[in-house]
A and B are shown apart, each in its own frame.
With several copies, the nearest count.
Chain A
Amino acid sequence: MKLIIAIIQPDKLDAVRQALIDAEITRITVSRCTGHGRQEDIDLYRGQEVSPNLIPKARIEIAVNDGFEKVTVDTIIKAARHGDGKLGDGKIFVQDLVRCIRIRTGEEGGEAI
Chain B
Amino acid sequence: MNSRFKMGSPLLALAAAALAPAIAFAQDAATAVAPAVDAAVAAAAPAPAAPPAIDTGTTAWMLTSICLVLLMVPGLALFYAGLVRTKNVLGTMMHSFIAMAIIGVMWVVVGYAMCFGDTIGGVIGWNPAYLGLSGIDAKDGGTFTMAGVTIPHFVYIMFQGKFAIITPALIAGAFAERVKFSSYCVFILLWSLLVYCPLCHIIWGAGFLSCKNIDLAGGTVIHIAAGIAGLVAALYLGARRGYPKQTMSPNNLTMTLLGAGLLWVGWFGFNSGSTIQSGLDTGRALAMTQIAAAAGALSWVVLEGIIHKKATSLGFVSGMLAGLVAITPAANAVTPFGALMLGLIPTVICYFAVQMKNKLGYDDSLDVFGIHGVAGIVGAIGLMFFLRTEPKNIASTCADTWGGQMVYQLEGVALSIAVSGVLTLVLLFVINKVMGFRLSAEAEQAGMDHALHGEHGYGLLNLN
So, do A and B actually touch in the complex, CB under 8 Å? yes
Select which of A13, A15, A44 is within 8 A of B308 by beta carbon: A44
Total number of residue pairs linking A and B with CB closer than 8 Å: 77
Q: What distance in Å separates the Cβ of A61 from its nearest Cβ neighbour in chain B?
A: 13
Residues of chain A within 8 A of B9, CB atoms compared? none
Q: B389 on the interface (CB 8 Å rule)?
A: no
Select which of A15, A43, A49, A58 is within 8 A of B456 by beta carbon: A43
Contact B315 A53 (CB under 8 A): no
Residues of chain B within 8 A of A12, CB atoms compared? 445
Q: B280 on the interface (CB 8 Å rule)?
A: no
| Complex Cα gap A15–B242 (Å) | 10
User: Which residue of chain B has the shortest Cβ distance to A13 in the bound complex?
Assistant: B463
Q: Given A47-B307, A47-B308, check contact A11 B463 (CB 8 Å).
A: no
Q: What distance in Å separates the Cβ of A46 from its nearest Cβ neighbour in chain B?
A: 5
Contact B315 A44 (CB under 8 A): yes
Contact A44 B310 (CB under 8 A): yes
Q: What distance in Å separates the Cβ of B315 from its nearest Cβ neighbour in chain A?
A: 7
| Complex Cα gap A15–B241 (Å) | 11
Q: Given A11-B445, A12-B445, A54-B462, check contact A43 B304 (CB 8 Å).
A: no
Q: B363 on the interface (CB 8 Å rule)?
A: no
SS class, residues of chain B in contact with chain A: helix
* A18-54 interface with B by 8 A CB criterion: 30-32, 34, 42-54
Q: What distance in Å separates the Cβ of B403 from its nearest Cβ neighbour in chain A?
A: 36
Select which of A32, A45, A50 is within 8 A of B463 by beta carbon: A32
Contact A45 B242 (CB under 8 A): no
Residues of chain B within 8 A of A32, CB atoms compared? 461-463
Select which of A13, A14, A45, A53 is within 8 A of B314 by beta carbon: A45
User: Which residue of chain A has the shortest Cβ distance to B249 in the bound complex?
Assistant: A52
Residues of chain A within 8 A of B453, CB atoms compared? 44
Q: B246 on the interface (CB 8 Å rule)?
A: yes
Q: Given A43-B454, A44-B304, check contact A50 B461 (CB 8 Å).
A: no
Residues of chain A within 8 A of B367, CB atoms compared? 46
Contact A52 B315 (CB under 8 A): no
Contact A46 B314 (CB under 8 A): yes
Contact B463 A53 (CB under 8 A): no
Q: Given A14-B242, A48-B354, A50-B247, check contact A43 B455 (CB 8 Å).
A: yes
- Apart from the given pairs A11-B445, A43-B450, A49-B308, 7 other A-B contacts in the complex at a CB distance below 8 Å: A10-B463, A13-B463, A14-B242, A43-B249, A50-B249, A52-B249, A52-B462
Residue ranges of B at the interface with A (Cβ–Cβ < 8 Å): 87, 242, 246-247, 249-250, 300, 303-304, 307-308, 310, 312, 314-315, 318, 351, 354-355, 358, 367, 442, 445-447, 450, 453-456, 461-464
- List 16 A-B pairs, Cβ < 8 Å: A10-B463, A32-B461, A34-B463, A43-B454, A44-B315, A44-B453, A45-B249, A45-B314, A47-B304, A47-B315, A47-B351, A50-B247, A52-B249, A52-B464, A53-B246, A53-B464
